Structure 1
Amino acid sequence: MTRPEVTLDNYEDVYRFYRDHQQNRVLAKAAYATLSARFRPQVRYADGARERLRGLLASGTPLIVVANHLTERDQYTLAATAWQTPLRRAIGRTRVLAKDELFAEPGLRRRVDLMGSIPVFRSKNHGLRAVADAGRRMMEISAERLARGDVLAIFPEGTCNEGDPTRLQQINSGVGHIAVKAGKLGAPPALVSIGISYGPNPDTGRSAEVYVGAPVVDLPTTPMDIRRLVAENLQIAVDGAVAAR
């Protein structure tokens, strides 16, 4: 299928394409390895988290990976982290929710497509009412990909934190809706929280400290309760990353 132009007016074709899009897994692994060598995050784990994550991946449990959002390079830090952790196993079948602006320039789009990205039309750019239908479709596609065995990575704050890098911003409810939808498709996901810290000034370009929290299974049954759980667990992971500095 021909890659459609990623515009809000064209969202039906966009999500029809990304419902089935599969990047070249060999090239994706090479890209993730290159990012690991370049960005060199220092990865630490909560007690038992590495073994539990390895077990969930081996069993085929759907995973939603959430990370805090500090800079425009967080997606590269997260990719580098995946290469260094048991998540390497899921490279090539990981979907990353990414803002639609990243799909505008052809060269950049080829790179984000290689990383497995799915475009998100954000209300801060287009208006809440304008993105409502596209947002529902994005969540449906994300849940379908989880049900088909993909890992889903989300920055649930939705925008870079320009305030205190040690404290999360408000978590969007989309992560909860996606998890509930996946459960209704017979694929209840587990939650993995990854905290990122570049120090008190995220713009220095320093390598990140990364903290992988203990996976959570048996998520709550409502989107709002899942959002609260994400906020609590992701803040714990951020605290772990900050403490490692």
Structure 2
Amino acid sequence: MDVELTQSEAVYAHYLDHQQDRVRAKLMYGVLAARIRPVVRFTARDRLVRAVRSRKPLLIAANHVSERDPLVLAAAGFRSPLRPRIGHMRVLAKDELFEDPEQRRKIDTLGGIPVFRQKDHGVRAAAEAGRQMFGVCVERMVRGDSIAVFPEGTCNEGDVTRLQKLGTGIGHIAYRALKAGVDVTLVSAGIAYPPHGDRARPMVTFGNPVDLAGFKDETPAALTRMIQSDLQGVVDEVCRAA
């Protein structure tokens, strides 16, 4: 089955139940960690440990400044308390990354779920696929999986210290998961690339986990604004460190 917008219903039916090989996933995450060697920092490491041990689904929101970001985030996850979640972590990725069969096998192993972006396919054409994707994300969270999202939707080609306006997709995922009775914990991840010297390794800062249960009556737009504020705070931290 090809990952194409015209087959979005079949695509999301597949990824609703797809399970990557967990042993291979951990191996691949470990190889990325060894190759990339990101510098990983924490706003509250002990709280992140508790959030992971709680077994509650995590909604990980990361800024997007480079095409390398998904690999850097995976490497940082392996070098962090998030490691036990590998194999139960799904990552939203643009559909074009699933075109090459070999690359698709790797992305599937990393836990990828394709996204048909409006900027690539148009608002109306991508709208129904987006609703299907939200449904898959929520059901995976109901089953206990965590979801990682780059909610800016595209690489920031401007001031990387300031987030672009987030798409409301992440707010819809959080909203629908909360309405489905999922106890969701938000974890923001800030990514930065120091310019030179020994500190040229990419840097990732994981923020203080936020229990979204207290926001279950908020709208998707309000949840998106809250996530934008939290993620901006973590981006500020990682940029100061870089």
Q: Please state which band the TM-score falls in when normalised by the shorter chain.
A: over 0.9
Partner of 1:173: 168
Partner of 1:142: 137
Partner of 1:235: 232
How much does 1:207 deviate?
A: 1.8
Partner of 1:73: 68
Provide the secondary structure at the position in 2 that maps to 1:98. strand
1:94 has 2:89 as partner = yes
Partner of 1:15: 12
Match among 140, 143, 152 for residue 147 of structure 2? 152
Partner of 2:34: 37
Partner of 2:45: 50
CA RMSD of aligned residues (A): 1.3
Partner of 2:205: 211
Contact 2:194 2:201 survives alignment (8 Å): no
Give TM-score, length-normalised by structure 2. 0.95
C-alpha separation between the residues in 2 aligned to 1:189 and 1:36?
27
Partner of 1:114: 109
Which amino acid letter does the alignment assign opposite residue 91 of structure 1? I
Give TM-score, length-normalised by structure 1. 0.94
How much does 1:14 deviate?
A: 0.2
C-alpha separation between the residues in 1 aligned to 2:144 and 2:190?
24
How much does 1:206 deviate?
A: 3.6
How much does 1:200 deviate?
A: 5.9
C-alpha separation between the residues in 2 aligned to 1:86 and 1:15?
30
Moved over 6 A (4+): none
Match among 54, 57, 67 for residue 59 of structure 1? 54
Provide the secondary structure at the position in 1 that maps to 2:91. strand
C-alpha separation between the residues in 2 aligned to 1:214 and 1:177?
22
Provide the secondary structure at the position in 2 that maps to 1:86. coil
How much does 1:180 deviate?
A: 1.2
Q: Which moved further from structure 2: 8-17 or 216-225? A: 216-225
C-alpha separation between the residues in 1 aligned to 2:116 and 2:183?
25
Segments of 5+ residues of structure 2 without an aligned counterpart are none
Q: Report the CA distance shift for 1:34/1:219 in structure 2 as closer, same or farther (over 3 A).
A: farther
Partner of 1:27: 24
Which amino acid letter does the alignment assign opposite residue 138 of structure 2? A
Q: Which moved further from structure 2: 230-239 or 50-59? A: 50-59
Per-residue CA deviation, residues 109-164 of structure 1 (Å, 9 max, x unaligned), is 00000000000000100000000100000001001101110010000000000111
Q: Which moved further from structure 2: 206-215 or 33-42? A: 206-215
Quote the sequence identity (%): 50
Match among 120, 133, 137 for residue 125 of structure 1? 120
Partner of 1:226: 223
Contact 1:190 1:219 survives alignment (8 Å): no
C-alpha separation between the residues in 2 aligned to 1:13 and 1:140?
13
Task: Tell me the matched-pair count.
Answer: 237
How much does 1:219 deviate?
A: 4.8
Which amino acid letter does the alignment assign opposite residue 36 of structure 1? A
Provide the secondary structure at the position in 1 that maps to 2:17. coil
Provide the secondary structure at the position in 1 that maps to 2:82. helix
